[in-house]
Amino acid sequence: MKITDLQVIAFRVPRIPYSNGKWLDPTTVIQTLTKISTDEGAEGYYLGGAGHGDQDGLSPADRAALEGGLKWRVVGQDPFDREKFWHWMWVANVQENLLSVLDMALWDLQGRTFGVPVHKLLGGCRERVKAYGSTYPNMGTPEDYAEHAAACLAQGYKHYKIHPYYFWDPVTKQPDPGRPSHIEQDIEVCRAVRARVGERMVLSFDPWGTYRTYEEAVKVGRELERLNFYWYEHPMSEYRVAAYEKLCQELSIPILSPEIAAGSIYTRADWIRRGASDMSRIDVLRGGITGVKKMVSICEAYGVKCEIHMSGFANLQMLGATSEDVCEYYERGLLAPGVDYETPPPYLKAIGDPMDSEGYVQVPQGPGMGYQLNWDYINENKVK
């Protein structure tokens, strides 16, 4: 079997954006489906490739790069040679999300060819994964967060992660791009949520790297320890590795990072060696399924957790091939009051991560990623 083509199918999707606690005007966004074809008729797909999970399509520049130089690196090659391609792409310094999209479309192709889900190709370990509700930032008052946490608990979530206030002033309720950290209000949110749900929920906290000083990070971390939060994710810029080393030594709450730093396994292995994080963090847009598989093994060898970042089909397939002792949770969201997470987008016939009343998400069992694509919608809404 040989690869004959790589194309990116772009199509329009209606969306009502949610930002800073309110709904914005309806708009249209571009979603993408990367497709790899072979001379024997086998095909592989990957949805998205930018932004959060697999909801956001590739930019025109990214689409051009995939259909240009990357395509001609793999046309004529065996589609099952993912490991070879993975090394080629790193040597060529290919943009990280693009080598990831290629890798995942190839995993989907092999799963479809053999008629099994990707997590079985990897080596199946579990059919369902504990989920946590992951919030939008800037959802409202501390009481709004508390009520939302209680609603998530009633839905079945046993773990709730707070994205607090950033690039937004919670007092003036205005954008605040120059001073993203508001630690006093962030602490109020954490106190309100813990008071509302008690010890019935595991709580975690992610200010998305917006604390500008080590002192801010320590102050919030001390309060998280007092409130018995499970992890403290990405508190400062991830360029400040030495500050993270110091923070891990100072606090007892586990520091979960790096979240978004480039470099896939190479960056994260160095963080573990330096003691700059207590738990590691990666997702499939930072090296593909191949890269995440490697990172999980590194973490297992060092005896640290490898918590998978973001939602999405490929992240969930990866979790189905891992032990809960290494990768415990699936990040479900982003969630907020009034956000409908349960209805599939029009290009899918079903969501990939339905959750049961016990707070578990089932790993998709269809071949490859488990996509149930609505081809009629995709074809009717294509963008040239």
Q: What is the pLDDT of residues 315-333, one digit of tens each?
A: 999 999 999 999 999 999 9
The residues, ordered by sequence, that sit 6+ positions from 18 with a Cβ below 8 Å of its Cβ are 24, 136, 336, 338, 339
- Distance of alpha carbon 325 from alpha carbon 205, whole angstroms: 21
For residue 245, the model assigns a pLDDT of: 98
Question: Which band of pLDDT confidence, cut at 50, 70 and 90, is reported for residue 309?
Answer: very high
Instruction: Give domain 3-115's CATH superfamily.
Output: Enolase-like, N-terminal domain (3.30.390.10)
Cβ–Cβ < 8 Å for 160, 203: yes
Q: Which two tokens stand for residue 11?
A: 């199509």
Cα angle value 224/266/306 (rounded, 5°): 40
- Distance of alpha carbon 377 from alpha carbon 318, whole angstroms: 28
pLDDT tens per residue, range 226-238: 999 999 999 999 9
Cβ–Cβ < 8 Å for 365, 128: no
Question: Which band of pLDDT confidence, cut at 50, 70 and 90, is reported for residue 179?
Answer: confident
For residue 351, the model assigns a pLDDT of: 97
What SS3 state is found at 209?
coil
Radius of gyration of the chain (CA): 21
Question: Which band of pLDDT confidence, cut at 50, 70 and 90, is reported for residue 1?
Answer: very high
Q: How many helices (H) and strands (E) does the chain have?
A: 13, 17
- Distance of alpha carbon 292 from alpha carbon 308, whole angstroms: 8
Sign of CA dihedral 146, 147, 150, 155: negative
- Distance of alpha carbon 89 from alpha carbon 102, whole angstroms: 10
Predicted confidence (pLDDT) at residue 85 exceeds the cutoff of 90: yes
Average pLDDT over residues 140-161: 98
pLDDT tens per residue, range 10-50: 999 999 999 999 999 999 999 999 999 999 999 999 999 99
What residue type is 198 in one-letter code? Answer: G
For residue 281, the model assigns a pLDDT of: 98
- Distance of alpha carbon 293 from alpha carbon 74, whole angstroms: 22
What SS3 state is found at 299?
helix
Fold that domain 121-362 belongs to in CATH: TIM Barrel (3.20.20)
Q: Dihedral of the CA atoms 285, 287, 291, 292 (nearest 10)?
A: -20
pTM over 0.85: yes
Q: Tell me, rounded to whole angstroms, the distance of Cα 73 from its chain centroid.
A: 28
- Distance of alpha carbon 204 from alpha carbon 32, whole angstroms: 32
The residues, ordered by sequence, that sit 6+ positions from 93 with a Cβ below 8 Å of its Cβ are none
Predicted confidence (pLDDT) at residue 51 exceeds the cutoff of 90: no
- Distance of alpha carbon 280 from alpha carbon 167, whole angstroms: 25
- Distance of alpha carbon 272 from alpha carbon 70, whole angstroms: 32
DSSP E strand boundaries for 92-231? 128-135, 159-162, 168-169, 174-175, 202-205
For residue 52, the model assigns a pLDDT of: 84
Q: Residue 338: exposed, middle, or buried by beta-carbon count in 10 A (0-12, 13-18, 19+)?
A: exposed
Question: Domain limits of the chain?
Answer: 3-115, 121-362
For residue 301, the model assigns a pLDDT of: 97
Cβ–Cβ < 8 Å for 277, 244: yes
- Distance of alpha carbon 129 from alpha carbon 299, whole angstroms: 19
Question: Which band of pLDDT confidence, cut at 50, 70 and 90, is reported for residue 241?
Answer: very high
Q: Give strand pairing partners of 355.
A: 361
Computed over every residue of the chain, the mean pLDDT equals: 97
Average pLDDT over residues 105-117: 98
